[in-house]
Structure 1
Amino acid sequence: MALWLVSVLVVWTSVLGLTQCCPEPCTCSDKYTHQFADCAYKDLLLLPVGLPSNVTTLSLSANKIKHLEAKSFINVTQVTSLWLAHNEIVTIERNTLAPLVQLRNLDLSYNKIINFPWEDLAKLTVLQLLKMNNNEMINLPKDAFSTLKDLRSLRINNNKFTTIVQGTFSSLSSMSHLQIYNNPFTCSCNLEWLRDWISESKISVPEQDSIVCEAPEHLKGALVTKIPKLDCRAPTVSITYQPKLDNTELYEGFMVILNCEIKGNPNPKPEVSWEVVNGGNQKFTFNLPSVVNEQSDLPVNDKTTNGRFLVFQNGTLIIPRMSKKEDGNYSCSAVNDLGRADSTVKVVVAGTKKQAINSMLDTTSGKIRPSGGSKNGVEDDQERHQLAQV
């Protein structure tokens, strides 16, 4: 009898404790060993304070919450299902979700999330359902889901992802359902894998007619599963120069022209830049525009540097008047989705001009020579760099 009374007292204490800890305007209940806290449709602007510490299902859907702070769920770490759909969430601080290590179901759909703390997912190793659809997320790291081996359903459709890196879904050994439609995909070489993966995968990928290309223009509206095989190549780079006579020596005051040549018809089009490192560890970086505009004959660098260097859209870098200040390494690099290539030359002025030769280079003091080599497996140009008079 005494033991029965103790058991009843424990149960009622638990129920009363749950009821007493339930904040307004939420409704809390205990059913089948699950503790529910229903705070949905309450016009909440913030998370309610004082939720039961043993709550396992927490519904905060259809409110007006805009921001989740790092300590939002620190006192409800037993939650296994968290529903946050149809709020106005824009930001989620790092470590907000990480304490919820027992979480199996997470719904963040229909919010306004741009930047998501992907590193928090690494702690949620028992997650089975993840709904992130209908947000405004742009960046999806390759390792975002690397620890979610129990994840069965993933919904990232209706976001603003332009690409998905190959290997992003490799760790999802339990996955059976994946929604990625209605994202503005750029159908370049780095998305070819997705075309093949969708057709070969045993995972259900619904609404494939809505998995379409947004760019480039000639593929806009095309199905990702139907994009043609692209001629994808990494870039190669070489630098040619004027003057070209081998072992030509440079005087101060004369002009040097360096041309960055991108070879191999790389696809997609690489991003090209010059980097100049002068004596005294001065460093300048000049990024070339990806699209040539009508003023292609004008330097792309601003007036703070174009008295020393003139950099043009076609990859030409001119040193109008050589001096000791312009001594240094001149590197051109090209990067696309498939690789990076670099080439470097070293320019040296050894002395002052002794005589004027109508802006011609004499052969008595400095020199320009190749230096360094290619990187990341890209071969150097095998042609010998030569020097010539301007």
Structure 2
Amino acid sequence: MNSFGCSFGCCLVFSVVFLGQVSTLPTGCKQKPNQIGQYTLKCEGLSLTSVPTGLGPLSFIYLSGSSDHKNNITALRSGNFDGATKLFSLEISWSQIQTVGTGTFAGLGELHNLNLANNNIRRLTANTFKGLSKLRSLDLSGNKDCEFDRTMFTNIAILEELNLGDMNLRKIDNSLFSGLRHLKVLKLQMNNIKKIHQNVILNIPSLQTLDMNGNKLRGIPEELKSKLKAMTQIHISENPLQCNCQLLWLRELAERFYYSKTDASDIICNGPARLKYSSFVNVPKSEFVCIPPKIVRCQQETYSLPEHQRLTIECEFEGDPEPSGIKWRRPDGQLMDGRGTNHGQYEITENGTLIIRSVNTIDDGSWTVTAYNKTASDDLAVSVHVNLSTTPTETKPTRHSTPTAITKTVTDSISTSALTRSGTIRQVSNTTIQTTTTTSKPFLKTVDPSPEEHVARDDGLSVWVVAGAATCTTLAVGGLGAVVWCLVKRSKKVVPSTECLRHSNPKKIVVYL
């Protein structure tokens, strides 16, 4: 490999004098002036490994390889184009460029056209294009998975033509092009864009040509109707368009401008099934109908699992168009909305599946899944039962040497409430009476209180009692020393007596003896 940008043995080197400046160029490069004295340099298909040096006062430079014979210029750096201060157009495509350094184009204040297509550029920032204050046309197509955001356009705000085709773009931020007030031509062809928000286009006031060919669009927002009517060219062929009521507005425009402004013959319906492969402009208006969203089924209607386990609830949805949104409502009312979104420990996938990374007591109860679009929705309830994984710690009481019957009367709406111990533990309320024979080991006992029950408080703090709509309170029960745990309503969280007062509306009481 020699130092002049050619593979060894493939080319020689010659020198060209530009107004007293020597430019060293690989053999095979062609340079000539045009009728007004502007010089053009072409070094195409030469397997270059670097940018030739000493370029001089050129107006047009073409250093591109081809799909079959790529260059191997892996990086562009500051100083590569020193001396080319009058450069008007620069093309370096098919060259396997991976990085473009800050200041690479700093001295190219007259550059109007820049083509970096079909390289492997990994990242672009505002500094990448610093100094290109007159740039009008930028082609970045074919740089797959390149990272950039709206700040990339900070120093090239007067762009008129932008090509971001074949870059494996999946989503377009609503404000990505909002700073490009002079942009007339936008090419987003051959990407993987499934949806495009109306603001992406509405934020470009001067746009005349839009190329969305070869994406994954199933529809186009009706809010773009007036904008599209004012444009010159719209290309939307090779998209899986769903020919339903939400695209009827576009079909209505066909009679007015489709044949003259759009490649209409290539616009084909992908669905519904009865219209598949039909020409979009030839489908009768009466065929553009919609089917409301429907939740066909979920894998299970009820899920029961231990606390802290991962839970996945997958459901099947249908409708035409397919539901634009899926939302899940937790038993306590908290809403998670949006496909492909994360909400803390909750995730809604693109297909609407709910993933709870670690179920907790707050997840216990009836969940509601909703499939919706602009005009209709459908709901389905899914029950989740979280099995508590912890057991309250036993508090060992100091017992009397002789078993004693212990009784305490609770006033208010409960006529009588007592805990007794005389070979049997007995819980009495105004709803039920349950009896369990004691054993030598501690055990759990669960009682569902009536919603009308209230509580009474007494000194001693030996036993905690939970009832109905009231908070936890205490009863003195002599030497029994029982410990009551409360299972809080909604969250169904078992809490010890010291925390019980913080919770209202408990659903059950658990007595641990």
TM-score after normalising by structure 2: 0.44
CA distance in 1, matches of 2:287, 2:265: 19
- Higher radius of gyration, 1 or 2: 2
- Tell me the secondary structure at the aligned position of residue 250 of structure 2: helix
Instruction: Check the 8 A contact 1:62/1:84 in 2, yes or no.
Output: yes
The answer for the alignment partner of 1:177 in structure 2 is 233
- Decide whether the 8 Å contact of 1:92 with 1:117 is kept in 2: no
What is the CA distance between 1:183 and its match in structure 2? 1.1
Letter in 2 for 1:182: E
Alignment gaps of 5+ in structure 1: 1-14, 237-265, 292-299, 311-316, 318-329, 345-349, 357-362, 367-390
AA matched with 2:98: L
Q: C-alpha distance in 1, partners of 2:177/2:131?
A: 19
> CA–CA distance in 2 between the matches of 1:185 and 1:87?
26
Equivalent of 1:107 in 151, 163, 166: 163
CA distance in 2, matches of 1:84, 1:135: 13
**What is the deviation of 1:70?**
4.3
Q: Which of the numbers 81, 90, 95 marks the counterpart of 1:42?
A: 95
SS of 1:196's equivalent in the other structure is helix
Superposed displacement of residue 182, structure 1: 0.4
The offset of 1:276, in angstroms, is 4.5
Match of 1:354 among 418, 431, 434: 431
Find the partner of 2:144 among 72, 80, 88: 88
Where in structure 2 are the equivalents of 1:20-59 lying within 5 Å? 23-24=79-80, 28=84, 30=86, 35-47=88-100, 49-51=103-105, 52-54=107-109, 55-59=111-115
Match of 1:144 in 2: 200
| 1:183-222 paired onto structure 2 within 5 Å | 183-201=239-257, 204-222=260-278
Using the TM superposition, give the Cα deviation of residue 140 of structure 1 relative to its aligned residue in structure 2, in angstroms: 0.8
What is the SS of the residue equivalent to 1:82?
A: strand
Shift of 1:170: 2.7
Measured in 2, the distance between the counterparts of 1:203 and 1:284 equals 44
Is the 1:127–1:150 Cα contact (8 Å) retained in structure 2?
A: yes
Deviations 1:266-322 (A, max 9, x none): 8657577663554xx777999999x9xxxxxxxx99995899867xxxxxx6xxxxx
**Equivalent position of 1:249 in the other structure:** none
Inter-partner Cα distance in structure 2 for 1:274 and 1:130: 37
Distance 1:154 1:189 in 2: 23
Partner Cα separation in structure 2 for residue 302 and residue 61 of structure 1: 42
Percent identity between matched residues is 19
Aligned residue among 229, 233, 240 for 2:287: 229
- Larger fraction in strand: 2
Cα distance in structure 2, aligned partners of 1:138 and 1:177: 21
Inter-partner Cα distance in structure 2 for 1:272 and 1:43:
42
Q: Would the aligned equivalents of 1:147 and 1:171 in 2 still touch at CA under 8 Å?
A: no
SS state at 2:90 partner: strand
Q: Does 1:124 align with 2:161?
A: no
Aligned equivalents of 1:191, 1:153: Cα separation in 2: 20
1:174-219 superposed Cα distances (whole Å, 9 cap, x missing partner): 5211111001223343222222233333684433233223344443
RMSD: 5.0
What secondary structure is seen at the aligned counterpart in 2 of 1:144? helix
User: 2:121 is aligned with what amino acid?
Assistant: I
What secondary structure is seen at the aligned counterpart in 2 of 1:214? Answer: strand
Contact 1:69 1:92 survives alignment (8 Å): yes
2:14 corresponding residue in structure 1: none
- Please tell me whether the aligned partners of residues 150 and 177 of structure 2 are also in contact (alpha carbons under 8 angstroms): no
User: How far is the alpha carbon of 1:149 from its aligned partner?
Assistant: 3.2
Q: CA, structure 1 residues 354+27, in 2 after alignment: closer, same or farther (shift >3 Å)? A: farther
C-alpha distance in 1, partners of 2:206/2:363? 59
Question: Contact 1:153/1:176 (CA < 8 Å) preserved in 2?
Answer: yes
What does residue 338 of structure 1 align with?
Answer: 375
Mapped contact 2:272–2:320 kept (Cα < 8 A)? no
Specify the alignment match of 1:275 in structure 2: 329
Alpha-carbon distance change, 50 to 25 in structure 1, aligned in 2, over 3 angstroms: closer
Match of 2:508 in 1: none
Distance in 1 of aligned mates of 2:263 and 2:234:
10
Other structure's SS at 1:160 match: coil
1:86: Cα distance to partner? 3.5
Distance in 2 between residues matched to 1:197 and 1:108, nearest whole Å: 27
Q: Per-residue deviation at 1:73?
A: 1.8
Q: 2: distance between equivalents of 1:235 and 1:188?
A: 13
Counting matched residue pairs gives 286
Distance 1:235 1:306, change over 3 A: farther
Distance 1:202 1:163, change over 3 A: closer
Check if 1:79 corresponds to 2:116.
no
Residue number in structure 2 paired with 1:375: none
Instruction: Say if 2:157 and 2:181, in contact at 8 Å, map to a contact too.
Output: yes
Q: Is the partner of 2:128 in helix, strand or coil?
A: coil
Structure 1, residues 64-85: CA drift from partner, whole Å, max 9, x if none?
3243234322332321111223
Distance 1:101 1:190 in 2: 35
Alpha-carbon deviation of 1:142?
Answer: 0.8
Which deviates further from its counterpart, 159-168 or 63-72? 63-72
How far apart, in 2, do the equivalents of 1:82 and 1:134 lie?
Answer: 17
Do the aligned partners of residues 103 and 274 (structure 1) sit closer, same or farther apart at CA in structure 2, a change above 3 Å counting?
Answer: closer
Query: Kindly tell me: are residues 153 and 207 of structure 1, through their superposed partners in 2, closer, same or farther at Cα, counting changes over 3 Å?
Result: same
TM-superposed CA distance for 1:103, in Å, is 0.8
Conservation of the 8 A alpha-carbon contact between 1:91 and 1:115: no
Asked if the contact 1:91/1:114 (under 8 Å) is kept, the reply is no
Structure 1 residues 91, 159: closer, same or farther in 2, change over 3 A? farther
Structure 1 304/331 Cα, relative in aligned 2: closer, same or farther at 3 Å? closer
- 2:210 is matched with which residue? 154
